Chains A and B, each alone.
Chain A
């Protein structure tokens, strides 16, 4: 058995009752914060320093565009590289928004576009990129008094950026913004440089990808660089996929921005993934490992009525009931009076008839639609009885026992020849009555017998239990096992019917086809044209067989459940080995369920609760998602993990270039996705297993893994290396858009 929440030793009968309510986390997502005013002071300062000693530094990352002045120590702007443009038809006006401003308006949100190709650091939408640059220059307060951007620009780009991509950017910077000069560099190398790195292995895990770049004497060995196509954005998409699969009917809205925050807030890199994973859904400590994200919801409002109101409503109901009763009583009374009048009338008629001649009486009877005097007699009797009944009911007098007189069967003995036509009719009627009467008596007797049989059975059962408890229990146990098997079989059948190709489904389809066809195949084969369908009761079972879905087998299911319950109750009562834990209910209880622990954490789930329906439980995902960078195959990425890449670079690809040890002494982590707390430790331990034991491995993190790229670029922008690497406007116009100058921190021409 795999380790899981099913471990009984860690579990009392109901441990969760004492569990405190879970700590709820609210989901966070990118949102509009506030209007950012233009900041012309930086530009003024830059102007006073002159373009030799000031530059606009733009860290053009796929998660954020960070822009600021080279002489300052932090970027002024952090913009998500998104853009939205739409036209409000009502007022005939176009709107453009950049960055988080897009989230201020729902229409704008709908038109959102990203500058970068999804999951890569390559700009693919240049209209968006231009708008972002517009925004940057507006907010930096550039007034364009000299007709363009009169400050040099330093920009970061992806490792091995595509020539087309670089060319387009260069074109924009020089043609559209008329910048005096432009220099490109690689973000992670700027970060390394800023942290005083000289020789080492730069591991940069960022939003769209992870790069490993060996650096020798401050010069990047780009030919040995390696990219793993996994970063923060892919992690977010992966988590989104997992959550959607985990909660397919989740009512809240999920997006990848929320996932990014969830990864940041709740996920962590496991120090020993397989070991931690094996006990992750165990009962002990699941409260701490299971993080609950509560999405906004609206509670269904149940209006609580006050005592007074309830009383009033009850009174009202009673009142209307009384009124109805009164009405009914009145109607009954009227009916009674009418009936009494009728009765009087018929009595009167009867007495009149008895005095009249036969012919006259016949005439009177015909006028009343009566056949003969007997009929009149019957009518009177009936009326009398109903009146008496009604009266007792109304007045509440003693219930008069309905006299069940043995009907008159006198005519049955008389042969037909001796009877006239009316007599024969009467006889037929009596025969019918008699068979009716006898059938009723038979049914009564049978009922009695059945009762006696049940009582006898119970008695025998009890006797058996007293005499042979073990045998009796065994019988029960077997019966219970049979029932459980039956329930399981039914479940399996139901599941099989869901599958079109299963044997059960095919049999069902066969039956349907057979029923629908005019000449059923079976009958014809036997050469018997007589369709005696239905003669055998089992024939009708075919309809139960073909019915699926809602309500097809509810009755029987109830029945099985009920008999299982009684059996289990018996066993509980008499079998010392059979405890609460053994009942089917307890065994299928949520506390035993791994799936429950996975989906709903260590607490019971109330399907009716809106709050719980809007909860996400993060447990295994918390370590599963960050782990992908070490084992990309988890997310189906067919690339080597970060440790394997690093080991390959260090042991094979750098052979003969420089001593391994130099690189190992400085393994440098940067980028937002490397912020997981045990990232460095995992990398170090992973490499330790792949390298000779005497090698010294040192890892270190950037001071600020997110901002150091910008800071490094800003620092570099003032120096001599920058002056040598920047391409001026004149050079651009002379040598073309693809002209570039290689330098230590930038890409090489390819």
Chain B
């Protein structure tokens, strides 16, 4: 009964994970119950030994999210999911994982905004040289070229930076998941 409950709960909690991996993971916990009972342990004792299924599921999900994000070459959506999985492991991670991550995201967004603004202002320079009075065609078009160039450079640089941030975040999460204390102490 307790075995069924435990396994059922874990199975449901692992719903975000594709079925083949989920089945593979579940095999360990099923096997643990089976061998423990063969060795004369009660199902209750075996369940206590394993700990809280919710905690196990969180830890497994974190590992899965991190690997998935790494496979997807650090796409922001996948990295963010991994970060959230880490945060769900405890309050501690809210401060040491989510905080810095949001700060880094904000920096990236502001760089992208700068890149966008530079590109837009080159359009403004062209507009001014055509319809305005301040700039000649030559001044306008060279100013536009310079601004556009800067905008593209900033954009490319920021893109590289985003990649680096994603990689760093994943490495940090891997390191973190090795260190995270589990609810069931012994």
User: Do the two chains bind?
Assistant: no
B residues near A, CB below 8 A?
none
A residues near B, CB below 8 A?
none
